[in-house]
């Protein structure tokens, strides 16, 4: 017998998802004739930046990783970025965007965190605080609050998609979530009846239900129901994880591309902890990078014309060891890469203050040394793309970062 599911008030008002979006835009951006979008993808598990963008021009690179070193003249050659760096061959779409000036690689980058705990590192990455567990809210949520109410324009959208809410979006700003259900969701008739019921008793809940009804209609058109019916999840194999990357990212872009849709969001992808059999080319990591490349392609496609005003930032909690370990993997490290993609970028560049790979140049003689503060990159995008003020960036969004200057010149 058919069943229906009515989400609880707590589920709707508290939010439960991997994607967050602001329902407002700075008036300044609109006054400039722009309609900017920003999507942050958190890669949880610590990405091996040396495997994604290999320093093929460093004389110590081949000796450091031996047969595991990506090269431009190998059996599966890397994709040249410039005379010094080559991109993993699993990412031809990102390479195409790079050549078109729509992607940037920031190398030897990291948050202020210098230990090797996933939990602590992710907390610093997503909270924006200089130390783990010193803030209970996320920098995206605080960035929303830093924009004065008088400088906001209502676009009728605040969105969360997914099964869990990352710290980066937690805080006082309310978020409407849309979570795929494995059991049959509430019918449209049920939602309409609930809206009518709560119109006078609980107007706030009625507005949320109205928003959820709209999301349900959009998701149905975007085939999100098919995603909800899948049995496989990220824990059930690399293929399911890769499929989730593209579907979740593509659906996020579909929502964000709408004229009345959200403009800023974040989504978390798990699976980047490669202690054993990393397989940068043709193995596990290579497959993951291919999946990430597909997710970027899905975002570009589903953004449509809005791609020209979009920035996608891909970040991770820390890097991995410079040397391969005894099980053909890499352990928790320090410096890594941050990626930017989008039509709003002044891309086609690798930004790096390269520290070198000699043992004496490595952090604690084992990790790629971080020479770029990730907060500088994020500040640069928030400042120039979304017009967030310097004072808010230094004191509220990334507290204690007054000495970290926003990176300029990232936007076209």
Parallel, antiparallel or unpaired: strands 159-161 and 264-269 = unpaired
Measured distance CA(364)–CA(27) in Å, rounded:
47
CB 372 within 8 A of CB 104: no
pLDDT of the residue at 7? 37
CB 76 within 8 A of CB 67: no
Measured distance CA(11)–CA(9) in Å, rounded:
5
pLDDT of the residue at 262? 79
Measured distance CA(160)–CA(400) in Å, rounded:
29
Please compute, for residue 53, the number of CA atoms within 13 A of its CA located in the half-sphere on the CB side.
Answer: 28
Measured distance CA(107)–CA(376) in Å, rounded:
13
Q: Which residues of the chain have pLDDT under 70?
A: 1-28, 30, 147-163, 173-236
pLDDT of the residue at 235? 37
Please compute, for residue 95, the number of CA atoms within 13 A of its CA located in the half-sphere on the CB side.
Answer: 17
DSSP symbol at 169: G
pLDDT of the residue at 147? 62
Exposure of 299 by Cβ count < 10 A (0-12 exposed, 13-18 middle, 19+ buried)? buried
Q: Which residues pair with 311 in a beta bridge?
A: 38
Helices and strands in the chain, H and E counts: 14, 14
CB 333 within 8 A of CB 400: no
DSSP, collapsed to helix, strand or coil, labels residue 37 as strand
How many other β-carbons are positioned within 10 Å of the β-carbon of residue 41?
Answer: 25
Measured distance CA(322)–CA(335) in Å, rounded:
9
pLDDT of the residue at 196? 62
pLDDT of the residue at 372? 98
Measured distance CA(291)–CA(244) in Å, rounded:
9
How many other β-carbons are positioned within 10 Å of the β-carbon of residue 182?
Answer: 10
Measured distance CA(257)–CA(271) in Å, rounded:
27
DSSP, collapsed to helix, strand or coil, labels residue 280 as coil
CB 164 within 8 A of CB 14: no
Please compute, for residue 226, the number of CA atoms within 13 A of its CA located in the half-sphere on the CB side.
Answer: 8
Parallel, antiparallel or unpaired: strands 79-80 and 264-269 = unpaired
CB 94 within 8 A of CB 285: no
CB 56 within 8 A of CB 78: yes
Over residues 231-279, the pLDDT tens digits come to 443 335 788 888 888 988 998 898 889 887 778 788 888 899 999 999 9
Q: The tokens of 173 are what? A: 């700003």
| pTM of the model as a whole | 0.82
């Amino acid at each position: 017998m058919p069943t229906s599911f009515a989400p609880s008030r707590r589920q709707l008002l508290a939010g439960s998802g991997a994607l967050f979006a602001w329902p407002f835009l700075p008036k300044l951006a609109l006054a400039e004739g722009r309609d900017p979008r920003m999507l942050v993808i958190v890669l949880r598990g610590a990405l091996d930046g040396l495997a994604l963008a290999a320093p093929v021009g460093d004389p110590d690179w081949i000796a450091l990783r031996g047969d595991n070193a990506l090269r431009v003249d190998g059996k599966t050659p890397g994709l040249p970025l410039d005379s010094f760096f080559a991109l993993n061959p699993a990412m031809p779409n990102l390479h195409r965007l790079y050549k078109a000036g729509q992607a940037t690689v920031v190398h030897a980058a990291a948050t202020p965190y210098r230990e090797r705990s996933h939990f602590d590192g992710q907390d610093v990455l997503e909270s924006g605080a200089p130390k783990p567990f010193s803030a209970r809210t996320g920098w995206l949520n605080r960035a929303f609050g830093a924009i004065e109410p008088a400088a906001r324009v209502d676009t009728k959208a605040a969105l969360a998609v997914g099964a869990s809410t990352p710290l980066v979006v937690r805080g006082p700003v309310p978020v409407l979530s849309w979570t795929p259900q494995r059991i049959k969701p509430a019918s449209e008739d049920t939602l309409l009846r609930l809206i009518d019921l709560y119109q006078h008793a609980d107007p706030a809940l009625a507005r949320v239900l109205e928003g959820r009804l709209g999301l349900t209609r959009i998701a149905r058109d975007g085939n999100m129901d098919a995603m909800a019916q899948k049995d496989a999840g990220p824990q059930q194999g690399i293929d399911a994880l890769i499929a989730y990357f593209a579907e979740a990212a593509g659906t996020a872009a579909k929502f964000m591309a709408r004229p009345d849709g959200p403009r800023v969001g974040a989504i978390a992808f798990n699976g980047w902890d490669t202690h054993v059999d990393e397989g940068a080319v043709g193995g596990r990591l290579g497959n993951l990078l291919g999946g990430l490349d597909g997710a970027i392609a899905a975002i570009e496609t589903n953004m449509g014309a809005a791609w020209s005003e979009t920035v996608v930032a891909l970040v991770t909690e820390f890097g991995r060891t410079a040397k391969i370990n005894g099980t053909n993997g890499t352990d928790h490290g320090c410096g890594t890469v941050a990626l930017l993609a989008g039509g709003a970028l002044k891309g086609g560049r690798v930004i790096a203050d390269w520290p070198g790979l000699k043992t004496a140049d490595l952090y604690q003689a084992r990790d790629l040394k971080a020479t770029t503060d990730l907060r500088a990159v994020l500040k640069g995008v928030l400042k120039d793309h979304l017009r967030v003020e310097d004072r808010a960036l230094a004191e509220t969004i990334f507290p204690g970062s007054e000495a970290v200057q926003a990176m300029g010149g990232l936007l076209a």
